[in-house]
Amino acid sequence: MTSLTSLTIAEARDQLAKKEFTALELTEAHLQAMEKAKGLNAFITPTADIARARAKESDARLQSGKAGALEGIPLGIKDLFCTEGVQTTAASHILEGFKPPYESTVSQKLRDAGSVMLGKLNLDEFAMGSSNMSSYFGPVKNPWKAKGRSDDLVPGGSSGGSAAAVSGYLAMGATGTDTGGSIRQPASFCGIVGVKPTYGRCSRWGIVAFASSLDQAGPMTRSVRDAAIMLKAMCGHDPMDSTSSPRTVPDFEAVLGQGVKGLRIGIPKEYRPDGLNSEVAALWDKGIQWLKDAGATTVDISLPHTKYALPTYYIVAPAEASSNLARYDGVRFGQRVDGKSLDDMYAKTRAAGFGTEVKRRILIGTYVLSAGYYDAYYLKAQKVRALISKDFADAFEKVDAIVTPTAPTAAFGMNDKQDDPVAMYLNDVFTVPASLAGIPGASVPGGLTSEGLPLGLQVLTNRWDEETMFRVCQTLEEAAAFPSLKAPS
């Protein structure tokens, strides 16, 4: 018999309904897998007791025919979502021990749908990073290894714990958050599906803020269908978030199977810069061919401001972060380091509580907003952001979806030199433009490198058109027949 952890969410949902096993059994299987895979360091705070209690409640609801859309499905929650009574750290020392007296809207919705929380997943500190190396609670290991090698690879970031847990069969799905690629890039590195919906689809209420105008929650799963199921449960209007959309949430799962026949797929030339990794380029070509084979037409397009997206992002995101992270001051929650005055206490608390990358971004963000520099940096970036957004709007006049590589490389080694922050920022070169434009984007595993490491393809669509995105994703998924890791038995 295959292990319960190897099932997809859709399969588990159907088999739970048929009472082939109980939610508690399914949860226990995952708790055991978590225990065995502790070395991945995917979880900051496992919540086995909560998981068992909720699984039992799910079994009762399954018995009484009151099952929710995700009834009994064990999920991991990125430790950026506030969870009532459960430590929420954002992978930062400054929040160590913080137990929110409230539950984020998204995690509450998942709970309302009947899902079971297995624990809080590791991430880059305050979601700032692309490798999960900046977590105060230690790096996460990618369950994948290069062919014939034993050295550990990064899972990507910032949702590295989420990607590793799903890829390594510790959770059937996980929440991620994506500010500049933090769902899509780790999904690509770990060979799973990651979806960032349109900005405004998921409520940001209760998610520790990094960059408010960019942050979006989304699902990370092992199949496109699972992502569609999970996303439906996560989104919807929240009156507590002024930027949350009141639009009706479509049934994303319902569009699966419609294929891509007749769809126009845009191929942006700016995503094929000189020196693009040849394996990445080759996979992209393959993906284009798969879509053509499935009846789509492809259109060469231009997104002229693409090369300015990263520098724009590295003004906008740190600027917002410098303000969003001002509340970590040692007064109302989290860690405090005493000082001889209030300001001294602040400066010592924040110096000790934040890690290097977070401090760096706060300083950059403070600088670009400061008197005399606002126009040259922040205002300029907002204008370029408008141009980037317009590039996409123009493109979607001509095409229904855009397909690109998700990341410029496959997962890199944990011990690789990461001294140059700009080099690290380049990981997000293909994901950041969509974040700035607020459009939905997904990464689907497309294939393996010659070293046997996963590479993802990114699918972008117009605002609020996740349905087309899911159709394209599913077609790619079927054609790629991606060789996922085997679930440990």
* Interface with another protein in residues 337-396 (CB under 8 A): 338-348, 350-351, 354, 359-360, 362-364, 366-371, 374, 376-387, 389
Using rule CB under 8 A, residue 104 touches another protein = yes
- Residue 229 within binding range of another protein, rule CB under 8 A: no
Residue 340: CB partners within 8 Å, gap ≥ 6?
none
Judge contact between 69 and 233, C-beta under 8 A.
Answer: yes
420 binds another protein (CB under 8 A): yes
249 binds another protein (CB under 8 A): no
DSSP string of 190-209, one letter each residue: HT-EEEE--TTSS--TTBPP
Task: Give the single-character DSSP code of 376.
Answer: I
Sheet holding 441-448, edge to edge: 43-46, 116-121, 74-78, 173-178, 216-221, 193-196, 441-448, 454-461, 401-405, 264-268, 297-301
- Pick between residue 17 and residue 331 the one whose CB is nearest to another protein: 331
Helices (H) and strands (E) in the chain, counts: 15, 11
CB 403 within 8 A of CB 288: yes
Task: Annotate each residue in 63-92 with x if it binds another protein (CB under 8 A) or - if it does not, as one string.
Answer: ------------------xx-----x-x--
Instruction: Judge whether 243 and 214 are in contact, CB under 8 Å.
Output: no
Specify the residue, 130 or 322, whose C-beta has the smaller distance to another protein.
322
Using CB under 8 A, count the residues that bind another protein.
99
| 445-474 footprint of another protein as x/- string (CB under 8 A) | ------------------x-----------
By CB under 8 A, is residue 96 in contact with another protein?
A: no
Site map 180..219 versus another protein, x via CB under 8 A: -------------------xx---xxxxxx-xxxxx----
Which residue, 284 or 354, has its beta carbon nearer to another protein?
354
Q: How far is the CB of 327 from another protein (least distance, A)?
A: 4
Residues identified as active-site: 78, 158, 182
Cβ atoms of residues 98 and 120 within 8 Å: no
> What is the distance in angstroms between the CA of the first residue and the CA of the last residue of the chain?
9
In the complex with another protein, the residue whose CB is nearer, 430 or 482, is 430
Among the listed ranges 186-194, 301-309, 470-478, 481-489, the one in contact with another protein (CB under 8 A) is 301-309
Q: Which of 336, 413, 478, 487 binds another protein (CB under 8 A)?
A: 336
Residue 452 neighbours by CB under 8 Å, 6+ apart: 144, 146, 147
